[in-house]
Amino acid sequence: MKASAFVYPWDVNGDPEAPGRIAGLGVRQATLASAYHSTRTLTPRHPRHRVVTADHAAVLYPMDDGRWAGRTPRPYPAGDWAPGDAFGEAAAALTDAGLEVHTWVVLAHNSRMGAEHPATSVVNAYGDRYPWAPCIAQPATRAYVVDLAAEAAVRPGARGTELESLGWYGLQHLHAHDKTAGVALGDAGQYLMSLCFCPDCSRGYEARGVEADALAAAVRAALEPLWRGTAADEGWAGVEKLLGEEYAAATRAWRDDTARTLQEDTVAAVRRAAPAGFQVLLHADPVTYHCGANAGVDPAHILSVADGVVVPCAGGPRLLAPFAEQGREGAVLAANLQVVSGMGGSPGTLAADAARARDRGATELRLYHAGLASDDDLSAVREGLAAL
């Protein structure tokens, strides 16, 4: 199975041993970030630093000012954590080490955008804004996502791209000093807390026969038992039970169509900008109403649009099955495995985990994350890939 390791430019730039070390894992590809959200990361082997703080979501290359002049929203340049053409420098070094480089592009996830332009954010039924979550129903946000994908995906030397957060972002979000786990919302509660009531979404619900203020009131009423500690039924049945079938269906129809058309438009824009043979994958979850970095998709639809998907498999390979069941010849079904033991990964079971993923339909592996892993983790990865 072809394997690729995720990596940041700052893992490579300034460390002449990094490209060879990554290639020495036994991977054939590096999935290198070209547009990424704010983060704080360890760099356990870098000769010049041990901690990198990316203060805000940014592009990691010189953006095309002509494309973005006068536009809001627009991407932000990186600071000193990724100066100049950080992506291009790292990509060249990785290519010289014999690795195929694909871009890793984070799209509808940008806290600085929400802080500076609050109207772009998802607004829940209580009126709370989620600054990390640009609302993908807003025309300006959709145009931003499409153009950012085309620019950040098709960088010089890249052979393909992996598009993250190409869909709805909601309540769930890793956040500094997070304290949102006091109430177990479950799958249904997370969905209700992720519904957006910005003006564009409100008009979208009303176009489907649902008055937005009444819907917001119904969402608040549906959530009330959960705040008291009552557990909701899981899955879509739980949403329908809490909110009622009519309201649930209207919200899902609006959100599914909004995400689906954005995914179509974005992949099409990347293909127009890319050379022949350029591979386009989405980080994806096979349940359309799920939110987050792994965007909810319809498996049959997305495999007719993109070349394949990258599927989270840290908890096992069960999410692969809905994609594999489509029987789409030539589709890439990449199992994304966590190999950083300090972040809950299990590099020592990589060979077994990969075999289970292959049995459920995986055609490739993605390993998160070559730059964050300890030396012992990387040794286990080398052994696991050699065993495959």
Q: What is the 3-state secondary structure (H, E, C) of 307-349?
A: CEEEEECCCCCHHHHHHHCCCCCCCEEEEEEECCHHHCCCHHH
Peptide bond preceding 369 in cis form (omega within 30 of 0): yes
Whether the CB-CB separation of 229 and 183 falls below 8 Å is answered with yes
pLDDT tens track, the chain, 388 positions = 999 999 999 999 999 999 999 999 999 999 999 999 999 999 999 999 999 999 999 999 999 999 999 999 999 999 999 999 999 999 999 999 999 999 999 999 999 999 999 999 999 999 999 999 999 999 999 999 999 999 999 999 999 999 999 999 999 876 665 666 667 889 999 999 999 999 999 999 999 999 999 999 999 999 999 999 988 888 999 999 999 999 999 999 999 999 999 999 999 999 999 999 999 999 999 999 999 999 999 999 999 999 999 999 999 999 999 999 999 999 999 999 999 999 999 999 999 999 999 999 999 999 999 999 999 999 999 999 999 9
Residue type (1 letter), 24? G
pLDDT at 263: 98
Torsions phi, psi for 58 (to 5 deg): -155, 160
- Position 362, amino acid: A
Distance CA 192, CA 227 (A): 13
> CB–CB of 86/63 below 8 Å?
no
d(CA 78, CA 98): 27
Contact 141, 108 (CB under 8 A): yes
Alpha helices in the chain (DSSP H): 9-12, 18-23, 65-68, 86-96, 111-116, 139-153, 186-194, 199-207, 212-227, 235-243, 245-273, 299-305, 321-324, 350-359, 375-387
Query: Rounded to an integer, what distance in angstroms lies between the CA atom of residue 209 and that of residue 250?
Result: 8
Q: What is the bridge-based pairing of β-strands 100-106 and 39-42?
A: unpaired
CA dist list (Å): 338 to 8, 54, 365: 16, 22, 11
> Token pair for residue 331?
């589709």
Q: Locate 290 and state its tokens.
A: 């799920």
Are the CB atoms for 155 and 63 separated by under 8 Å? no
Q: 320-328: long-range contacts at Cβ-Cβ below 8 A with a sequence spacing of 24 or more?
A: 320/357, 320/360, 320/361, 320/362, 321/360, 321/361, 322/286, 323/284, 323/286, 323/299, 323/361, 324/360, 324/361, 324/362, 325/299, 325/361, 326/299, 326/300, 328/303, 328/304
d(CA 299, CA 296) in angstroms, rounded, equals 9
**Residues 6+ positions from 4 with CB-CB distance below 8 Å:** 27, 28, 29, 30, 31, 102, 334, 364, 365, 366, 367
Compute the distance between CA of residue 59 and CA of residue 71 in angstroms, rounded to an integer. Answer: 16
Token digits of residue 14 = 């300034």
**Residue 157 in contact with residue 205, Cβ under 8 Å?**
no
Contact, 142 vs 58, CB < 8 A? no
Q: How many residues does the chain have?
A: 388
Q: Which domains does the chain have, with CATH numbers?
A: 2-179+257-387 (3.20.20.80)
pTM of the model: 0.97
